[in-house]
Amino acid sequence: MRKLAFTLSLLAAAPVLAHQGADQNQIAQPALASGAIRHAPLGVMGDHVHNTGEWMFSYRYMRMEMDGNLDGSDSISPAEITGTMMNPGPYMVAPLKMTMEMHMLGAMYAPSDTLTLMAMLPLLNKSMDLRSRMGAEFTTETDGVGDVSLAALLSVYQAADKSAGVHLNLGVSLPTGSIDERDDTPAMANAKLPYGMQLGSGTYDLKPGVTYQAYSAQYNWGAQALATLRSGENDNDYRLGNRYELSAWLARSWSSALSGGLRIKHSSWADIHGADPDLNPMMVPTADTRAQGGERSELLISANYLFRAGALKNHRLALEYGVPIYQELDGPQMEMQDSLTLGWQYAL
């Protein structure tokens, strides 16, 4: 863990050092990047402020696959989770596989050069395959609106030549997503589903952060730190754990229309406080508040394509694909396999 933390700190510092180097070479290479390279990887939310009066509309499709379970960093089999009727394990049901999909609709507007307002509406679909101690396999599903996010991006620094900038991400998440989702299981019809299958947090959550981004003629690099801070308890007597994320990226321009990049992201999140009285923590690990926290590092590859002319001018298509390179989970907890984000943006 010390090595991981040291590596992440170097990644976070790298953009600043790189920008210092870019300043020293400004005379030899005065031109700044333009086109697709002006955008960070698609998975970086709220990566830049806009010019006064500018609008941007966006759509993102995000998909994450989970398969298997970890206890700490060690794999644990479904049989170890449930045991048998003659030799019971700690839980009666084991999660096998989970797919989470999100359609994110977004809008941004800049009333000034230093302030950009942002709103995001998520539409979620979650599906989980499970196996009982008796060997019966079944699937539960939920879908609907998630928690709406509102944010202000406040510029606090911009280089005179616009080669670098820092802005604050000041957001709040509204409890618009359901925390009372139900589905049929072998044990009960219309059963309350565990925490990870719900659509929202049930609380008003603060989402502070800071973003640094810089450019040279061919490169875009930056770092972003974000947090999700929960407030109070929801109507079901619990509060999700706080979440923290740190990203650093480097992207290269291949043409004015096309760029590609690499990003590393580290996330950590805490266990749940309180408990939903309708959930039995001995039924399945996803209903156990002590098996919800953890941390994960991911390596992601991205591409941006910006239409520069014609009917689709200023439309941007982008993708980002990631895999975990480190996971340490309060377990048993489902293990992430990969993630994919596809997106469209249009600025006017």
pLDDT per residue over 183-238, tens digit each? 999 989 999 999 999 999 999 999 999 999 999 989 999 999 999 999 999 999 99
**Tens-digit pLDDT profile for residues 334-344:** 999 999 999 99
Which alpha helices (DSSP H) does the chain contain, by range?
Answer: 2-24, 78-82
pLDDT of residue 32: 67
Round to whole Å and give the CA distance between 80 and 96. 12
pLDDT of residue 27: 34
Q: Is the pLDDT of residue 256 over 80?
A: yes
Average pLDDT for 40-54: 95
Round to whole Å and give the CA distance between 139 and 117. 39
Largest interatomic CA distance in the chain: 77
pLDDT of residue 30: 42
Round to whole Å and give the CA distance between 72 and 330. 6
Q: 101-112 burial, b if ≥16 CB within 10 A, otherwise e? A: bbebebebebee
Estimate the share of the chain in helix, then strand, then coil, as percent rounded to the nearest 5: 10, 55, 35
Average pLDDT for 163-181: 98
Q: Is the pLDDT of residue 120 over 60?
A: yes
**Tens-digit pLDDT profile for residues 260-313:** 999 999 999 999 999 999 999 999 999 999 999 999 999 999 999 999 999 999
Q: Is the pLDDT of residue 78 over 60?
A: yes
% of residues, the chain, pLDDT over 70 = 91
Alpha carbon of residue 175 to chain centroid: 18
Residue 299 neighbours by CB distance under 10 Å: 14
pTM score of the predicted model: 0.89
pLDDT of residue 7: 42
pLDDT of residue 35: 87
**Tens-digit pLDDT profile for residues 6-31:** 444 444 444 444 444 444 433 333 45
Q: Is the pLDDT of residue 166 over 80?
A: yes
Structure tokens at 165: 């900038």
Spatial CA neighbour of 314 closest among 336, 343, 269, 347? 347
pLDDT of residue 217: 86
